[in-house]
Amino acid sequence: MAGRLGGMRRKTRALMRKNVRAKGKISIKNYLQKFQTGEKVYLIADSSVHEGMFFPRYHNKSGEVIGKKGTCYEVMIHDGSVKKIMIVHPVHLKRV
């Protein structure tokens, strides 16, 4: 049986591309931002930070912060009719 080709970032060349003006060092403000439980957020992956990144299928989805685990946040999203909990670093989150 053939093994799977590629990994999590397969076929994400356009999806993970940053704007030319957004390249370089990331803002410390985005890295250390705080969220309250119940806040609505968008999942926007920052391709230059690999820790706490979610699977690219969920890029641009919206969800609700339901808790915190260490430096990351637990975000509940709806994938069709299924509720899923993602553990995401705050650099990949944006307020609605």
Fold of the domain built from segment(s) 35-95: SH3 type barrels. (2.30.30)
Q: Which of 59, 86, 83 is nearest to 73 (CA)?
A: 86
Q: What is the pLDDT of residues 1-47, one digit of tens each?
A: 788 888 888 999 999 999 999 899 989 999 999 999 999 999 999 99
pLDDT score recorded for residue 6: 86
Q: Is 30 left (phi over 0), alpha (psi -120 to 50) or beta?
A: alpha
pLDDT for the residue numbered 4: 80
pLDDT one-digit tens code per residue, 36-71: 999 999 999 999 999 999 999 999 999 999 999 999
Residue 41, Cβ neighbours under 10 Å: how many?
21
Position 91 scores a pLDDT of 97
φ and ψ of 65, to 5 deg: -75, 125
Contacts of 53 (CB under 8 A, 6+ apart): 45, 46, 88, 89, 92
pTM above 0.85, yes or no: yes
Compute CA 30 distance to the chain's CA centroid, rounded to the nearest angstrom: 12
Q: What does the domain layout of the chain look like in residue ranges?
A: 35-95
